[in-house]
Structure 1
């Protein structure tokens, strides 16, 4: 690659990063649907030509932000099992669960997205991506449970836990969330005490 190409590549990277940051900044104060491309380029200190040389629409810019997050999310999800042939969930060390570290590293972005009018979009994409790799990469041993239903149940629980943590403004540490998730995964209660008093 020539020196000129390197400079061009760096300019593209800088402009895309500036446009992403501008959109997120605007989304922290107003709905995505109300944001115009003119506003994005003004905040980013670029012009519309630069925007359209990188993205065909503000939706494409948002998709890039969400897709980047999800790719990193999937890498963190794979961390406990990517180098093993048999994944022993009952021996899972809490510190190997990297998904909460990923969320915390991108806390500001997740906080903005979760409070925005694109919440349903990111929930759906996260769920679909996690469900897909769960079914493709974790082959469930035969236990009489429908593998698709089990994947849906498990991923809904995980995504719900993650979103609660973000919405609570990260009231617990990543380490605490890791420990609690592992405990919940391995908890197999045979009975539960009720708080209902039966009429006699």
Structure 2
């Protein structure tokens, strides 16, 4: 197969998977995951069951991969600054992250409100914990605070705020949400040392 042909096949595969994922998310906004069938998903995606099974073993496999893809993308918009930057910067994050949540509102709204998905919040919290840990692992927490306690606190606070924001249909703009969080974390000098991450973090 030539590179051109392979590229066409890859685009076709990606387009099919996008249609399947979109169908699942739309259905989850309408009813509990446990009540969704493969037929429901294939019909909504305008595909036959056989095509869906070429990509996913069942609806649980589809859900698992859909969650992993979204959380992986979310991690790229971690609320803390990029490595090498000394200061938490609202223009870098958490603003892009809230914009990401806004763009993918239907997915996160469905996951956080769907009674059939009990583990999503925990998975999201773990991803945020890992992201914050990566940013802080080479620095030191000021004023005698244990780094693990700080990471758990920041992650829980962030995920809780995001969950409130999404479940209430984004009552404030991403810009306001980002600024509010920035003010809170920046103001808590005992956690981040007057809004700064120690050099090398």
Determine if the TM-score, normalized by the shorter chain, exceeds 0.5: yes
Q: Name segments (4+ residues, structure 1) moved above 3 Å.
A: none
Residue 90 of structure 2 is aligned with which of 77, 88, 94?
A: 94
Aligned residues: 185
Structure showing greater radius of gyration is 1
Measured against aligned partners, the alpha-carbon deviations of 1:12-35 in whole angstroms (never above 9, x if no partner) come to 112111111111121111110111
* Structure of higher RCO (CA pairs closer than 8 Å, 6+ residues apart): 2
The answer for the alignment partner of 2:131 in structure 1 is: 133
2:101 to 103, 117, 128: 103
Specify every segment of 5 or more residues in structure 2 that has no aligned partner in the other structure, as ranges.
190-201
Distance 1:173 1:9, change over 3 A: same
TM-score (norm 1): 0.83
Q: List per-residue Cα deviations over 1:103-143 (Å, max 9, x = no partner).
A: 11211221222221245322111111111232233134143
Gaps of 5+ in 1: 190-200
Contact 1:165 1:171 in 2 (8 A): yes
Distance 1:168 1:158, change over 3 A: same
Question: TM-score, structure 2 length as denominator?
Answer: 0.83
Matched position secondary structure for 2:69: helix
Distance 1:152 1:51 in 2: 39
RMSD (CA atoms): 2.1
Aligned equivalent of 1:82: 83
Question: Superposed, which structure 2 residues align to 1:146-165 within 5 Å?
Answer: 146-165=146-165
Distance 2:158 2:167 in 1: 14
Q: Quick one: distance in 1 between partners of 2:133 and 2:157?
A: 16
| Partner Cα distance (1:104, 1:18) in 2 | 20
Deviations 1:142-187 (Å, cap 9, x if unpaired)?
Answer: 4322221221111000000011111111110111011110111122
* Greater Cα offset, 106-115 or 164-173: 106-115
